[in-house]
Structure 1
């Protein structure tokens, strides 16, 4: 099996990106070759190493390094872990896909509990990343029809799925405008769809974007497409609200 190369990037490469490197290396060592780097690297933070060791994750191979030291290598995935790293032009020669995550920096707090919480959140996000990139997850057994159709039986949730399938991705504020619903209502519906692994989310700065889950089986993707094609006027009102939305986020306007 060919390993995919993943580089985690944050500002100092002293905590978040080192922890992410250790987690992914532990979860899927046979599927990913993983490293981390910083735009302004500093020494590994003792509390980051302590939390990793308490979680029984190997730390012996971890060391902070500059992104310049890996710029000539090919990376299938660059995953930035803070807005600053995401917004800076990275001096990398060969990149397959860049993914922007945003996790709070635990260093300013300098508390064990803060580092432990960031490690926990990183582990959950990385588990999802690994699951998404497992071919086996596309098996229909992970998407039994009854729960899927139950989730889509609500008009609001169905409209969300069809809009996202049509536009590839939408942020929460766009869905609020398109469906003319409150943000708590939309967030609740998005949460239900995410729990069923029908959607995935990604934060970019102040916006949270949603896309169809990459692991959706072909029959479900086809069903969404044929539903939209057979009912061309179904989303006319929502599309009109979306096109007239003031202050629409620039990234998906």
Structure 2
């Protein structure tokens, strides 16, 4: 199995994405090929090297790069770290999944404290990402029938579910009921259909069951979902807004428990 590839994207590739690249390499070792780039690259802020060195995280190879220079590479994951990059990179990067991690820019604040805060927040997000990516349940079946795939897309709830999961990497039933404003039985029924069709796979973590695109989903099916999301961002914009109002995963878990 080839090593999965990942790129962090920000506007300047001068702070957040550089911190993310170095930290991800530090935490994941050689299990991913990791890159970073900017849509309008600027020189790397010296405080990036300062805070990384303080934590004994290697800064070898860190330099500002233009996203267009990597236009010929296909990534398994593209992670944007600011809203401006998310809006402008969607047509510039080729990736199976595009995720949005929005962090405040630390550069306008004097000193290194804001950089440390971003590094801590990135550490938590990367920890969850690695946990999820390494512990998915391997599906025993593989989608081989194009007709069943397109039938799945023909339902509004299932289509939005797939696009949300592709954008967020994985979601639980509670998160989807909130995002789609549907009942839990209805969401669970559609998830079971997508699981049976080998389009989704799930994993259990404690009392939670999380759903993601099947690891062995054919490339053509992944590309259909990517192009659908790219050309129809408004289709799930309200659903993403409802999901974002739940906060990050720890806050979401608290809300799910309350329900």
- Cα distance change of structure 1 residues 214 and 54 upon mapping to structure 2, 3 Å threshold: farther
3-state DSSP class of the match of 1:92? coil
**Contact (CA 8 Å) 1:80, 1:101: kept in 2 or not?**
yes
Q: Distance in 2 between matches of 1:53 and 1:80?
A: 24
Q: CA deviation at 1:251?
A: 3.5
- Cα distance change of structure 1 residues 91 and 69 upon mapping to structure 2, 3 Å threshold: farther
1:108 equivalenced with 2:116 (yes/no) = no
- Cα distance change of structure 1 residues 214 and 26 upon mapping to structure 2, 3 Å threshold: farther
- Cα distance change of structure 1 residues 217 and 11 upon mapping to structure 2, 3 Å threshold: same
Q: Relative to structure 2, which stretch is displaced further, 90-99 or 115-124?
A: 90-99
Q: How many residues align?
A: 168
**Greater radius of gyration (CA):** 1
Q: Deviations over 1:167-226 (max 9, x none)?
A: 84634x959xx89xxxxxxxxxxxxxxxxxxxxxxxxxxxxxxxxx9642699759xxxx
TM-score computed with the length of structure 1 as normaliser: 0.58
Q: Name stretches of at least 5 consecutive residues in structure 2 with no aligned partner.
A: 139-171, 185-200, 211-235, 243-259
**Contact (CA 8 Å) 2:38, 2:64: kept in 1 or not?**
yes
1:160-175 to structure 2, matched below 5 A, reads: 165=173, 168=176, 170-171=178-179
Residue of structure 2 equivalent to 1:225: none
Q: Name stretches of at least 5 consecutive residues in structure 1 with no aligned partner.
A: 140-163, 180-212, 223-247
Q: Deviations over 1:62-116 (max 9, x none)?
A: 0010000111101000000011111224343631100001000000113211111
Q: Distance in 2 between matches of 1:47 and 1:220?
A: 39
- Cα distance change of structure 1 residues 215 and 88 upon mapping to structure 2, 3 Å threshold: same
- Cα distance change of structure 1 residues 218 and 108 upon mapping to structure 2, 3 Å threshold: closer
- Cα distance change of structure 1 residues 104 and 166 upon mapping to structure 2, 3 Å threshold: closer
3-state DSSP class of the match of 1:64? coil
Q: CA deviation at 1:2?
A: 2.6
1:26 equivalenced with 2:34 (yes/no) = no
1:60-99 to structure 2, matched below 5 A, reads: 60-92=60-92, 94-99=94-99
Residue of structure 2 equivalent to 1:148: none
Q: Distance in 2 between matches of 1:167 and 1:129?
A: 17
- Cα distance change of structure 1 residues 110 and 71 upon mapping to structure 2, 3 Å threshold: farther
TM-score computed with the length of structure 2 as normaliser: 0.56
